[in-house]
Amino acid sequence: MAQIFHRSANTLSRVTIFGAVFIAGFALWAIGAVVRSPYFTRQGIQLDQPVQFSHQHHVGGLGIDCRYCHQSVEASSFAGIPPTSTCMNCHAQIWTNAEILEPIRASFANGTPIVWNRVHQLPDFVHFNHSIHVAKGIGCASCHGRVDKMNLMYQASPLTMSWCLDCHREPEKFIRPREEVFNMEYVPVNQEELGPRLVEEYAVKKLTSCSTCHY
Amino acid sequence: MSETRKLDFTSFRERIGDLRGREYWRSLEELSRSDAFDEFFQSEFPQQALPLAKGVDRRSFMKLMGASVAMAGLTACRPPGETIIPYVNQPENLIPGKPMYFATAMPLSGYARGVLVESHMFRPTKIEGNPEHPASLGASDAQMQASILGLYDPDRSQVVRHMGEISTWSEFIAALQPVLNQERAGAGGLRILTQTVTSPTLGAQIERLQAEYPGLGWHQWEPAGGDALREGARLAFGGFANVLYDFTRANVIVSLGSDFVEEGPAHLRYARDFASRRRVRQGERDAAMNRLYAIESSPTSTGSIADHRLPVKPSQIESMARAILAALGGGSAGEDTHAPEFIAAVAKDLLASRGASIVIAGDHQPPAVHAIAHGINQALGNIGSTVMVIDSPEVRPVNQLESLRQLVTDINAGAVRALIILGGNPVFDAPADFNFKAALQKVPFRAHLSLYNDETSLLSHWHIPETHYLESWGDARAYDGTATIMQPLIAPLYNGRSAYEVLGAMLGALNTSPYTAVRNHWFERGTTEETWRRALHDGLIAGSALPPRTVAASGAVPASGPAQAAGGIELEIRPDPTIFDGRFANNAWLQELPKPQTKITWDNVLLIGPGTADQIGFGVDERSALFNELKTRVVEVEYRGVKVHLPVWVVPGHAEGAATIYLGGGRENGGRIAGAGTNIYPLRPSTAMWGGAGARITLTSRAPYPIGCTQEHQSLDPKLVGERGIIRDATYQHYLGNPNFVQDYEHQIEQVAGLENSNESLYPPFAYKGHAWAMVIDTSVCTGCNGCVAACQSENNIAVVGKDEVVRERELHWLRIDRYYKGDPANPQVYHQPVPCMQCELAPCEPVCPVQATSHSEDGLNDMTYNRCVGTRYCSNNCPYKVRRFNFFGYSDYDTPALKAMRNPDVTIRTRGVMEKCTYCVQRINHGKIEAEKENRRVRDGEVVTACQQACPTQAIVFGDMNDPSSHVAQLKKEPTMYALLGELNTRPRTTYLATIRNPNPELVPAAATAAGEHH
């Protein structure tokens, strides 16, 4: 009777058995790498927007405060996206014929809202509250980066849970004086000394219970 | 099989005697203690493990797993992008992400109950009671809670229909014009049919309409309206009147078939006032407990919390009332000498509390019982003290049965040319002998305004979709006459029109704005811009309650009515505790809400007592074999020549020789789920609106009928109930002598179960330095109304599973109210025990989770992290309290657009394969903590309330921070009557209970029973 298996079957079976371990390992590593990659987290990706709004111009150039547009940031979980009327406060007077602002004028005239593409997007099972972070001395730039230098808005941080926990475990490394929260250019002078003092002063708690964010 | 199966009712009763440490029981099944029932209890979800239809072989398994792995790869795709849509002009005062609250009122049967509606960016999401409104005082019931689902219900009618075809409002107006012109020309025969109207604006509109068309007839009809109340008041006071009760001042209360804590426009108020005299607290011994006697047939919530409950046949209630009046020296007792010692004791107690007692007749008792009750109150000097009489808040109170009878007579005589029906569904709910369905079709022009394209709409030429109360301006009066301006929370979702608009159109305005109609009405009557705004803000018009009249009830006792045909079984008909008269039949929250006394969902059944069950041949043997809590037999009910098939249900404490059925089931055209249950309106002739004698009940040979009864679902092992002191109770007298009686149970647990209360733990102790959230539930005042369960469902986006899944024990309510009985099944004591998550400090669920999806927070909460959960269900298996709920399938509706807007945005929607459970409303806790932290202070007591606590009419649930010594919950934790459920397991539950304390009349308590109460 002839042999059922060819001689190469020996090698093939060895490669398959040993390979299985590595393939499985590689697959796990690959999944991990993908979910932490900017492709998945959207870190650093500029999305198309109906109006090419430049934070660099408005914040860095003109010096408009964050809260002029994101007005509920100190009161609510949601920082707020400005209504068309906020844009028109100025643009009824200046750049009234600029082509780039046509969607704004159309929105204001027709009463149809502008549909922005969301840049900072948390999963639905995470509940984040802006107002408490601002009240406890976490600067806008700590999470959103140097918005005053962004021509088009993008997500500066990965917004992964481990990134959240970096600060929730060691707030003293990131906290800043309350009056500096909206200052884009703030650079800490002596964080090792200042951090623990502010944590004490603002009664900042190291909240790492699941139900702090997940419910 | 065990010999315990061979039981009949008599031996059943004997068994109660030898229970020894098992005097509490939850169901008749449990009492029979069959082997099968014990087995039934051994698994976590006894019905869950349905075997696969055929086994899965290796090859199919590999195929399935391979597909799963391939699909898993797909999830690596990143989540889809979202958009943000800001306003063009943001409304003033709106802070995106923060809810706003608006005061309005929910009318039910015409009467307003004040509500506060939570609105997220102008989407109403949750209903709460309005603390300033006299009919609510901040409490809410299941129907109020579920009305939010009613608003978004995708089955609501969305277009005007003419002969079933889609039409428009202006075409309807055009069609109405010739009808009105003829009427103006004097043709006559124009009628309107409304439900009970308390709305002053609507009343004024109808008056103007009648001034314009003098021949216009106005009829009113409510199937479960207050005809008996109206007629009773007329008998006693010589005219229509509303009778109000002040339970805060009553020491002795006698209920004559009244379910005042559960039914009627003032039940929330009455429940709270009643409970205010039943809380037993350390150091407050002066405030004596009140005493409630309930004489009733069907077990009600009121009967379940009574100190003495006497089950009698419905027909006997009147003679009992006469006997009480006679014992007080008025009238003469009938021949019926039922329970004379009971009557004597009641009379003695009432006489001792002259001017501080209440005798209240049930909403569905005959007018004579009401008149006698008023007579008794008069004799006791209660009128003016605990009983107030006011003018009726209704615009035009009438006997609605006669009003509808007149309409039907006129239609049959050809005198009705056009009929405009404003709300209601008379084709479904008119008395059977009126044959309204046939009569309606004789009217040449008929239009129907209603929320659903229902049974009546189908037979009308025109159907106009009606606005929900949250969609339209309006006004209504409460039980005491307090008027509320109802403001809309949202523009009509489904092109609805209100009654104000239809009447406005009849008055000649094509588009009447309900806002203008209501506003003009009140401004013409002295309201100013300032008082208008104040009224909208407060949810009521200050000082609009009607003043008490100084009247006396006529001493004349009405003669007893003609003796009813004896023989057969007496039928009692009641509105359903959840879906009412059928109008809420398409509301899934209410359909799935366990009915307070029976815990049945999705069905209406024939309720009978255990003795009657034996009598009709549905014995203990068979009930045990069927598992009464899962399946039951179908009976044929023959009543006055009409036969209806209904599942039969044996409920302890039901009067023997009588049966109860609830209205509202079996809608033919009420929406996709409204068909649940059986329509029993055919059993309801105008001569016996609330039942009568002469019913014949025969067991049919139909296949056993499955019932979604939740009582034995996921509840504590019955073996533990007695020996572990799950329910602890004492009489008030016993408590006064031994306030620490709950401790006696601890000794019993040590002896019986051999368990010691040990504080040892493998884990190092944890100091809760910040907050320590905790809850105390006072079982003395819980009426088992299920308002908390509905509130929890609304607050926490809890999905509905449907009857098939409830039968498999997969309902998702985070909070259940366990019902326990004690004593004779013919008339047991009832105990209600709400069971949310205990939030154990040493939670057994936590160490067994392989993925740490459930873990402990620094505040002592037992967190459930949905996104970590992989669905092993180990936690649920290890939970001694059985409070965890599992999503066996994707029960949450992700697709229906209308329902998306309804959900609470602060709570995650759970998907398939995820465990969920009570969180102590952690979203509210976090919100409270954030607001306090922003102001650098601690959370104040009362700042965070859970949804169940907020809804509770009797304030039985108290939640707060145990670490704050001044908090209400910390005070209650020190009460001597406080005990933990299964505390001997050292789970250290944060939810604890206050023992049930009742105040029975020592003269009526048999010596043996007293001894039983003291033996612990």
The angle that helices A84-91 and A102-110 make with each other, rounded to 10 degrees, is 120
Distance from CA of A63 to the nearest CA of B (A): 23
Interchain pair B926, A84: CB under 8 A: no
Interchain pair A132, B923: CB under 8 A: no
Mean pLDDT of B905-917: 93
Nearest CA in chain B to A120: B82
Nearest CA in chain A to B79: A40
Distance from CA of A76 to the nearest CA of B (A): 6
H helices present in B116-168, as ranges? 142-152
- Residues of chain B above pLDDT 90, percent: 60
Interchain pair B863, A210: CB under 8 A: yes
pLDDT tens digits for range B228-254 = 999 999 888 888 999 999 999 999 999
- In angstroms, the CA B852 to CA B868 distance is 7
- In angstroms, the CA B152 to CA B156 distance is 8
Short-list B250, B221, B266, CA closest to B382: B250
Distance from CA of B586 to the nearest CA of A (A): 29
Contacts of B526 (CB under 8 A, 6+ apart): none
**B375 touches B236 (CB < 8 A):** yes
pLDDT tens digits for range B676-715 = 899 999 999 998 889 888 889 998 888 888 888 888 777 7
- Cβ-based burial of B16 (10 A; exposed 0-12, middle 13-18, buried ≥19): middle
Distance from CA of A1 to the nearest CA of B (A): 30
Short-list B101, B135, B142, B136, CA closest to B791: B142
Q: What are phi and psi of B851, to 5 degrees?
A: -120, 15
B85 in contact with A at a CB cutoff of 8 Å?
yes
pLDDT tens digits for range B457-507 = 999 999 999 999 999 999 999 999 999 999 999 999 998 999 999 999 999
Check residue B226 and give its pLDDT.
87
Distance from CA of A4 to the nearest CA of B (A): 24
Distance from CA of B814 to the nearest CA of A (A): 14
Interface test with B, best of A211, A212, A213 (most B CBs within 10 A): A211
Interface test with A, best of B851, B909, B933 (most A CBs within 10 A): B933
Measured between its terminal Cα atoms, the distance across chain B in Å is: 34
Check residue B48 and give its pLDDT.
46
**ipTM attached to this prediction:** 0.90
- In angstroms, the CA B1009 to CA B1016 distance is 13
pLDDT reading at B620 higher than 90: no
For residue B343, give both structure tokens. 């009557």
Nearest CB to B97 within list A42, A72, A136: A72
pLDDT reading at B583 higher than 50: yes
For residue A90, give both structure tokens. 């100025």
Check residue B51 and give its pLDDT.
45
**B190 touches B217 (CB < 8 A):** yes
| Residue B2: band (very low, low, confident or very high) from pLDDT cuts 50, 70, 90 | very low
For residue B762, give both structure tokens. 């493998």
Interface test with A, best of B121, B855, B934, B939 (most A CBs within 10 A): B934
- In angstroms, the CA B915 to CA B864 distance is 8
Short-list B551, B227, B231, B268, CA closest to B389: B551
DSSP letters along B639-654, please? Answer: ETTEEEEEEEEE-TTP
Nearest CA in chain A to B74: A31
The beta strand positions in B938-1012, using DSSP E, are 957-961, 978-979, 991-994, 996-998
Check residue B3 and give its pLDDT.
38
Across the A:B interface, residue pairs with CB atoms under 8 Å apart total 129
Interchain pair A76, B855: CB under 8 A: no
The beta strand positions in B816-942, using DSSP E, are 816-822, 829-835, 854-856, 862-864, 885-886, 915-916
The beta strand positions in B658-772, using DSSP E, are 658-662, 696-699, 705-706, 708-709, 729-731
Nearest CB to B97 within list A78, A125, A207: A78
Interface test with B, best of A40, A68, A208, A209 (most B CBs within 10 A): A209
**B261 touches B785 (CB < 8 A):** yes
The residue type of A213 is C
* CA separation, residue B588 to residues A62, B13, B599, B790, B804 (Å): 55, 38, 15, 11, 13
Check residue B1016 and give its pLDDT.
39
| Residue B1013: band (very low, low, confident or very high) from pLDDT cuts 50, 70, 90 | very low
pLDDT reading at B1012 higher than 70: no
Contacts of B920 (CB under 8 A, 6+ apart): B773, B775, B836, B837, B839, B861, B946, B959
**B237 touches B384 (CB < 8 A):** no
Helices (H) and strands (E) in chain A, counts: 10, 1
Check residue B331 and give its pLDDT.
64
pLDDT reading at B95 higher than 60: yes
Collapsed DSSP state (helix, strand, coil) of residue B446: strand
Contacts of B391 (CB under 8 A, 6+ apart): B240, B241, B242, B481, B546, B549
Residues of B in contact with A214 (CB under 8 A): 863, 865-867, 908
pLDDT tens digits for range A51-96 = 999 999 999 999 999 999 999 999 999 999 999 999 999 999 999 8
Residues of A in contact with B861 (CB under 8 A): 209, 211
Interchain pair A47, B867: CB under 8 A: no
Interchain pair B96, A72: CB under 8 A: yes
**B632 touches B829 (CB < 8 A):** no
Measured between its terminal Cα atoms, the distance across chain A in Å is: 68
Interchain pair B84, A39: CB under 8 A: no
Mean pLDDT of B608-626: 82
Interchain pair A83, B933: CB under 8 A: no
**B481 touches B546 (CB < 8 A):** yes
For residue B759, give both structure tokens. 């504080």
DSSP letters along B169-227, please? Answer: HHHHHHHHHHHHHHHHTT---EEEEES----HHHHHHHHHHHHHSTT-EEEE--TT--H
Other C-beta atoms lying within 10 Å of the C-beta of residue B205: 22
H helices present in B563-697, as ranges? 588-592, 610-615, 620-626
B753/B428: higher pLDDT: B428
- In angstroms, the CA B764 to CA B756 distance is 20
Nearest CA in chain B to A112: B88
* CA separation, residue A72 to residues A77, A87, A118, B570, B614 (Å): 8, 16, 17, 64, 68
Residues of A in contact with B76 (CB under 8 A): 31, 34-35, 40
Parallel, antiparallel, or unpaired: how do β-strands B291-296 and B308-311 relate?
A: parallel
Residues of A in contact with B923 (CB under 8 A): 127, 215
- In angstroms, the CA B887 to CA B178 distance is 57
**B517 touches B201 (CB < 8 A):** yes
Contacts of A72 (CB under 8 A, 6+ apart): A78, A79, A80, A130, A131, B95, B96, B97, B98
Distance from CA of B83 to the nearest CA of A (A): 4
* CA separation, residue B249 to residues B132, B362, B605 (Å): 20, 20, 38
Nearest CB to B861 within list A80, A81, A211: A211
- In angstroms, the CA B704 to CA B807 distance is 13
Nearest CB to B95 within list A72, A127, A132: A72
For residue B410, give both structure tokens. 């006129």
Check residue B10 and give its pLDDT.
52
Check residue B332 and give its pLDDT.
64
Residues of A in contact with B926 (CB under 8 A): 127, 129, 211-212, 215
Nearest CB to A210 within list B82, B89, B865: B865
- In angstroms, the CA B379 to CA B387 distance is 12
For residue B723, give both structure tokens. 């020996």
Check residue B19 and give its pLDDT.
45
Instruction: Give me the sign of the Cα torsion angle B777, B782, B788, B789.
Output: positive
Interface test with A, best of B95, B855, B875, B914 (most A CBs within 10 A): B95
pLDDT reading at B566 higher than 80: no
Nearest CB to A124 within list B78, B908, B923: B908
pLDDT reading at B756 higher than 70: no
Nearest CB to B98 within list A75, A113, A132: A75
Collapsed DSSP state (helix, strand, coil) of residue A142: helix
Interchain pair A72, B98: CB under 8 A: yes
Nearest CB to A115 within list B85, B865, B936: B85
- Cβ-based burial of B256 (10 A; exposed 0-12, middle 13-18, buried ≥19): buried
Distance from CA of B189 to the nearest CA of A (A): 48
Residues of B in contact with A81 (CB under 8 A): 84, 86, 96
Min mean pLDDT across A173-182, B770-779, B996-1005 is at: B996-1005
- In angstroms, the CA B993 to CA A39 distance is 52
Collapsed DSSP state (helix, strand, coil) of residue B866: helix
B412 in contact with A at a CB cutoff of 8 Å?
no
pLDDT reading at B220 higher than 80: yes
- Running DSSP on this structure, what letter comes out for residue B356? S
DSSP letters along A21-64, please? Answer: HHHHHHHHHHHHHHHHSHHHH-BTPBPP-SS---HIIIIIIT--
- In angstroms, the CA B782 to CA B836 distance is 14
Q: Which residues pair with B449 in a beta bridge?
A: B422, B464
- Cβ-based burial of B49 (10 A; exposed 0-12, middle 13-18, buried ≥19): exposed
Interchain pair B90, A85: CB under 8 A: yes
pLDDT reading at A142 higher than 70: yes
| Residue B58: band (very low, low, confident or very high) from pLDDT cuts 50, 70, 90 | confident
pTM above 0.95, yes or no: no
Distance from CA of A110 to the nearest CA of B (A): 9
B923 in contact with A at a CB cutoff of 8 Å?
yes
Residues of A in contact with B922 (CB under 8 A): 211, 215
The angle that helices B340-352 and B316-327 make with each other, rounded to 10 degrees, is 50
- Cβ-based burial of B788 (10 A; exposed 0-12, middle 13-18, buried ≥19): buried
| Residue B1011: band (very low, low, confident or very high) from pLDDT cuts 50, 70, 90 | very low
Short-list B454, B493, B375, CA closest to B164: B454
Burial B728-762 (b: 16+ CB within 10 A, else e): bbbbbbbbeeebebbebbbebbeebeebeeeeeee
